[in-house]
Amino acid sequence: MGGRPPGPTCAERSGPGWIDDGTLCRDRSAVAAPESGAVGERGDSPVLYSPAVKVAVDIPFAIAPGMTWDGFWRLIYDRANEALQKQAELLLKRGNITRLEYAELVNARNKLVVRLRNQLSPFGELYSELLKPASSLKTGEQFLKQKGSIEAVLRSVGRTRQVVNRIGVVSRVAGPASIVLELTMTAIVIQQAAPEDRSRVASREIGGAVGSVGFGLAGMWAGCAGAAALASPSLVVPIVGEVSTGGACLVGGILGGIGVGWLGRKAGEAAGEGLYEIYTEVSDFRWVSR
């Protein structure tokens, strides 16, 4: 009796925007999201990535397509060599191997090496040439002088370098994974851009990806040639051995591909935005009739 409802005094308790001054602010706020992340158009589905993640994905992409391509051709080479080795084993079991059969098998092996090598990327072809120059592939007679007998030659005719096989396996696994990550991240960046900027962002990201691959392939070849030249200035007679020269080529190729590929990405991004600006100007042009 004679009382009043509890609450602060001297406060207007009417109007749609009234907030009790005696409490902390009670108002609508944005959905929490990472400071460096991207939030979807609806504002309720944050995509958790940062610039550091984007860079970490972009860097290996420069060499991923070339390494993947070479890795799968290496797999074809390995399978073909297995077939040659099985054929040689059948000849060994038969026992009466003719000179013609022996020569044809060795020639088939040499032709296989050259034919598949021509399908590799510039880096892969140079790397293979350093390890086993096409000019030094042995004929049947040269193998006989080295091994001493036809049987000894046939037991190793399909043998391949295990270190190169392991590189091929890694390339076939890591290469496609890097490509998928890059395409996924590129799609996310484009999708999360503001609607009015989406076409520009798409041009920039696609241009960057194309530039990264193109420059990456060139950088791998240049890095391989430069590092191999340091290990063997002649590039014909390796001073420190074929394996060491090939190792220098591999390391130089990877570093060169990543470094030059990154420069290519930046150039591609600039070119992509430039093409977008040109397209926008052309599409906005209208003929005025009088």
Q: pLDDT tens digits, the chain, 290 residues: what are they? A: 556 666 555 555 555 555 555 555 555 655 555 554 444 444 444 455 677 888 888 999 999 999 999 999 999 999 998 888 888 888 888 888 888 888 888 898 999 999 999 999 999 999 998 888 888 888 888 888 888 888 888 888 888 888 888 899 999 999 999 999 999 999 988 888 888 889 999 999 999 999 999 999 999 999 999 998 887 665 444 444 455 788 889 999 999 999 999 999 999 999 999 998 888 877 765 555 55
pTM: 0.72
How long, in residues, is the chain?
A: 290
Q: 3-state DSSP: the chain helix, strand, coil percent, rounded to 5?
A: 70, 0, 30
- Residue 92 in tokens: 């060994």
Contact assessment for residue 101 and residue 91, using Cβ atoms and an 8 Å cutoff: yes
List the helix and strand counts (H, then E) for the chain. Answer: 9, 2
Answer whether residue 28 is part of any domain.
no
For 101-141, the DSSP string reads HHHHHHHHHHHHHHHHHTTS-HHHHHHHHHHS-GGG---HH
Answer whether residue 133 is part of any domain.
yes
**Residue recorded with tokens 């060491």:** 244
In sequence order, what are the beta bridge partners of 46? 39
User: How far are the Cα atoms of 207, 277, 281 from residue 288, in angstroms, in the given order?
Assistant: 34, 22, 16
Contact assessment for residue 202 and residue 190, using Cβ atoms and an 8 Å cutoff: yes
Phi, psi at residue 170, to the nearest 5°? -60, -40
Answer whether residue 167 is part of any domain.
yes
CA distance 132 to 161: 10
CA distance 275 to 265: 15
CA distance 243 to 224: 13
The whole-angstrom distance between residue 200's C-alpha and the CA centroid of its chain comes to 24
User: How far are the Cα atoms of 31, 55, 180, 210, 212 from residue 199, in angstroms, in the given order?
Assistant: 27, 21, 22, 16, 20
Q: Which domain holds residue 90?
A: 57-276
Answer whether residue 107 is part of any domain.
yes
Answer whether residue 82 is part of any domain.
yes
Answer whether residue 33 is part of any domain.
no
pLDDT of residue 43: 41
* Structural domains of the chain, count: 1
pLDDT of residue 7: 57
pLDDT of residue 9: 55
Answer whether residue 241 is part of any domain.
yes
Answer whether residue 137 is part of any domain.
yes
